[in-house]
Structure 1
Amino acid sequence: MTETPRPRVAVVFGGRSGEHAISCVTAGSVLAAIDPERYDVVPIGIARDGRWVLESADPERLRITGPDALPSVDDGGVPVALARVEAGTDLVVSDPSRPPETLGEVDVVFPLLHGPWGEDGTIQGMLEMAGVRYVGAGVLASAVSMDKAYMKVVLAAAGLPVLPSIVVTTRSWAADPEAARRQADELGYPLFVKPARGGSSLGISKVRDAAELAAGLAHAFEHDPKVLVEVAAPAGSREVECGVLQALDGTTETSVPAEIRITGEHEFYDFEAKYLPEEATELDVPALVPDAVAVELRALSARAFEAVGGEGLARVDFFLAPDGSLVCNEINTMPGFTPLSMYPRMWAATGVDYPALVDRLLRLALARDTGLR
């Protein structure tokens, strides 16, 4: 009897964005969770300069060990590329110093990339062109969800509540800073200034008055030439989240919601609070909210997922105001899978543990076609 070959999974991580290290940490967690008896796994790192290389499958190499010890892709690895061939999509060595070498066909890619050049539809488009299946949202959903300005337009059009905001670019700020100042004044302080296409809270600052606006914009411009200036949630608002996961029949499921409470010196959920020592945050999974709020949160999360055309998975973040109203903050089509990440915690509390979650996402991707669907 011929044994059925294991599906070959290319776990792709790293990338060119400022979230390179977080992508590596996420990959370490996923590599440790994939069942090697069910899948043939090939770790592929994308170096900070964009080169694809074969990487180590050792999850320990991809851990954060301190504030100044963030993991990174080994850019000295063997260069590789995906190549479309008649029978499918092969992984090939692309080193000009070596003879051509095919490493075998790739059945599915798990793109664990956060931020631009990965979570924004770019790698999704490349994989569609290569004709290889992949985990997660497609090109449009990835691009819309990555760009917070367009995300707000789509969510608002679907009837979901969002906070008022304006967009400031490096060009518009240089051409007419007073116009941006007037628009910010009309929104009313305090404001949050954030890169429009960033993640992991990099480049975000709270601006308390007009005198702080220029510094806040300069900080955000370090990460993105397009910046969102957004009204702060009402005082006393709580940060709550919900996970969305497709079932194998294509229907949408939602997790129990969770809450993040910031402690210590962190005024909001910044990079350090997210990924460095956990005493900076307190997490409630499930969130301690009234049943009616939890039901509404899950319903709004599913609507947000459908509004952007999501596939596979997403995490939807909300502000819960003191009066019980909910405002959608953002949708993440490739939420983190680090040990501190909320998405797997919410699903574990809902009855889907970490290995089962990873397996479900791979099976979903293997079952769907590339191209228009």
Structure 2
Amino acid sequence: MTITFVHLESVHHKLSKASHKADPFSDARESGLDIRYATISDAFPLDHDRDLHREKYWTTLLQIFPSYVDEFVRKLIRSDPQSLHFLVADTVYVWPTAIARKYNLINVSFFTSPAHVFSLLYHLDLLKERGHFLRKDDAVDIDYVPGVGSMRIRDLMASLSKRSDITGNTLFKAFEEVKKADFILHNTVEELESDTLSALNKYQPNYAVGPINLSEASSVAVSRSLHAEVDITKWLGSKPAGSVLYVSFGSVVQTSKEVIGEIAHGLRLSEVNFIWVARAHLTSSGDSNVLPDGFVEEVGDRGLIVPWCDQISVLSNPAVGVFFDALWVEFGGREHVVRRSDDLFPSDLRSADGQEVGGW
């Protein structure tokens, strides 16, 4: 089997800059795996600020980028017309079905978030039928989405309440297209989301293939960090087991400076140890200094603010007890987070099963 992995040129530029490696799969090939690497333009120059001009960027990905992919696939198929080809693409793209059909490819959709989230987006038609789509009624329960337990409308992803937002628009179109895929891969575990996957299998074949980054042999390590990482092992080693809160919104999600201020306020009140990944372009305004004045000095050594770090290494460290991630911001939207900022990090912090975490 031959795999051709295709990155956007802009993503490749970030990866190679962070890891100082031009080819992230060089080690994998040396181990005997036939993984080829290629890049493709997203129609913007490398120095274009994609985070700051997100609306324009995503609009271009919807309208122009598919033609770039079409040309790349055409050349690849022409170079090896006798082989059976699979097209594996991220679910959030809207073009895979058209290109797969044009070149007679097996269309594989790959969803990198939990299957639970996939099912919510897959069944948007049910929300529309029940009159719950784009509705903001906190008191209404949703208990009819296959494979998803009961939840409140306010706990839906924020993007589902922004029909005119380009990100929301892309999601709506993508989840209409994914229903035409030959099968769907999920970065999840069968035992963890068996009910959800079973419900989805009534429509299309769905397979759990995750977690894809649980572990990897050093001989086939792949560069995957978009930013230079800060080594925080020594700082974590100075903290008691289960005492550290890890705060990170990943590489994509943006929020407002107001939300950042509220989270900082919650961290102040909690008096817990924490790591906060405050990457560039964390806010949609593009401000480089998003933390409240005096915050770093006030929290002192119990808080460590870094631009980026190895998340798997951090979450595997015994000092880390809680992960506060992008879903807290995305699910329920800005208003939900701001309203509850004073009790985000109570002194008696408990895990999902009600057990006290790290003695907080």
Fold in common (TM above 0.5): no
Q: Which structure has greater strand proportion?
A: 1
Q: Which structure has greater helix proportion?
A: 2
Q: TM-score, normalised by structure 2?
A: 0.32
